[in-house]
Amino acid sequence: MMQRQFKRGDHRVSTRSGVEILSEVREPGFGRVEAMIIDLSLTGFRMRCMTRLSGEKHIFMTLPSFAAIESRICWIESDYYGCEFVHGLHPAVFDHIVSRYPTLKVTGG
């Protein structure tokens, strides 16, 4: 079986915000695995997942205290995945998540 290779591109529809959220993702028919969401937008997210996921199926991403959100993998680069929500986030939900889970990285000197 030939493995489909997804390449990263910059085709974003909305602005993304840096976050650090330990979440779970699940491919239909498989168990949940941990993933770190590292940026989020109204239309999707980027995550790092140490478990190899298929780019050919939809996934369900679950944030703490939220229902699973159906998404599809758009690109894969090593352990990083770019995903698009099947139904975008409401702006108020997005603002709540970003304010609750800001990035822990310090920038500048």
Global pTM value: 0.80
d(CA 19, CA 99): 9
Spatial contact of 19 and 47, defined as CB atoms under 8 Å apart = no
pLDDT value at 14 more than 60: yes
User: What pLDDT band is residue 95 in, cutting at 50, 70 and 90?
Assistant: very high
CB atoms within 10 A of CB 98: 19
Cα atoms in the Cβ-side hemisphere of radius 13 Å centred on 97: 28
Residues 51-85 pLDDT 10s:
999 877 899 999 998 999 999 999 999 999 999 99
User: pLDDT tens digit string along 22-34?
Assistant: 999 999 988 999 9
- pLDDT given for residue 48 in this prediction: 97
**Per-domain residue ranges of the chain:** 17-100
The three-class DSSP label of residue 71 is strand
Per CATH, which fold does 17-100 belong to?
Answer: Thrombin, subunit H (2.40.10)
The per-residue pLDDT for 16 is: 80
Instruction: Give the residues across from 79 on adjacent strands.
Output: none
d(CA 8, CA 82): 7
